Amino acid sequence: VPAGELRVLHADDDVVIVDKPAFLPTENTRWLKDSVRSRLERAHNALTCVHRLDWETSGCERAIQSCPL
């Protein structure tokens, strides 16, 4: 099942918030190389996903650009 468009709802220097479509995994898997993380890395360089939604679930997902110590 092909996943839909990953829509960016907000992006600034620290965080990116996207509307994750159903059937798009948050992380790459052994078989699926298209994911929220891979799409965000292509568009916004290095990111860390803050949380995960199940692959069949749609909804808002956050990723951070940097993590202060």
Each residue's pLDDT tens digit, 13-51: 888 899 999 999 888 888 888 899 888 888 877 677 788
pLDDT at 60: 92
pLDDT at 33: 86
pLDDT at 29: 84
* pLDDT at residue 2 greater than cutoff 60: no
Residue pair 38/27 in contact by the 8 Å Cβ criterion = no
* pLDDT at residue 1 greater than cutoff 70: no
Structure-block tokens of residue 53: 């939604």
pTM for this structure? 0.78
